[in-house]
Amino acid sequence: MIEPEVAFNDIHDNMDLAEDFLRYICKFVLDNNPDDLKFLNDREAQEDQTKPQAERNEMSLIDRLNFVISNDFLRLTYTEAIDVLKNSAPYKKKKFKYPVEWGTDLQSEHERYLVEKEFKKPVIITGYPASFKAFYMRQNEDGKTVAAMDILFPGIGEIIGGSQREERYDVLLEKCKAFNIPEHEIWWYLETRKFGTVPHAGFGLGFERMVMFVTGMTNIRDVIPFPRTPKKAEF
């Protein structure tokens, strides 16, 4: 994981940083590795010819990279995303495999629909229900949601997850109780808030998932930075 954490950043600063970060990576690769990308682009196109129409990529590899750098990332709340999905044709025709209900996490099929079909641009979803997000994410004023964010890309769904952290000591104590986390087990984290701190936010980018997106590989085992050969598990 690549995990920046920035003091004095709120959730909006966090989204700005993550968007700039992803755009920079995609543009750098397009500008500096055209030969490699052409090889990978052609390889993917040849593979697509052997697949059923429904399993083929709608955009080429190079088009997907340009898709990221040429579109402003659309930002909407989890609640808005649920409304969009419930009004979609796949939902009405019962084509989604997983349920769409407020309070349940979005699945890859929902995320890809939002990016590839509904908005046709990268999407950042914020304001997730606190019930299925980490206890340390900052509680919003509504008391039900937290300042979390997920960035969704074509082909893979979520590529970055992050949040503004809960810096208020009293609120953090209440969240520990709500999540049944004993204070004596998390005392070291509570100490970072006990005597005052600053608002801060961060996110995690799965490095291998980003390499998958840039190269068009479909199996994460093909992009991990370790050699994989038979009978070679030394550790």
pLDDT at 43: 93
* DSSP states of 134-154: -TTBPBPTTSSEEEEEEEEET
Amino acid in the structure at residue 110 = H
pLDDT at 196: 86
Q: How many helices (H) and strands (E) does the chain have?
A: 9, 6
205 SS3 class:
strand
Per-residue pLDDT of the chain (235 residues; tens, 9 = 90+): 899 999 999 999 999 999 999 999 999 999 999 999 999 999 999 988 888 887 778 889 999 999 999 999 999 999 999 999 999 999 999 999 999 999 999 998 999 999 999 999 999 999 999 999 999 999 999 999 999 999 999 888 899 999 999 999 999 999 999 999 999 999 999 999 998 899 999 999 988 889 999 999 988 888 888 777 788 777 6
pLDDT at 1: 83
DSSP H helical ranges for the chain: 11-32, 34-48, 61-70, 78-86, 89-92, 108-112, 169-178, 187-194, 207-215
Which structural domains are found in the chain, ordered by start? 5-215 (3.30.930.10)
CB atoms closer than 10 angstroms to residue 184: 7
Q: Which residue has the tokens 């993917």?
A: 44
* pTM of the full structure: 0.89
Amino acid in the structure at residue 65 = L
User: What does the alpha-carbon distance between residue 48 and residue 68 come to, in Å, rounded to a whole number?
Assistant: 22
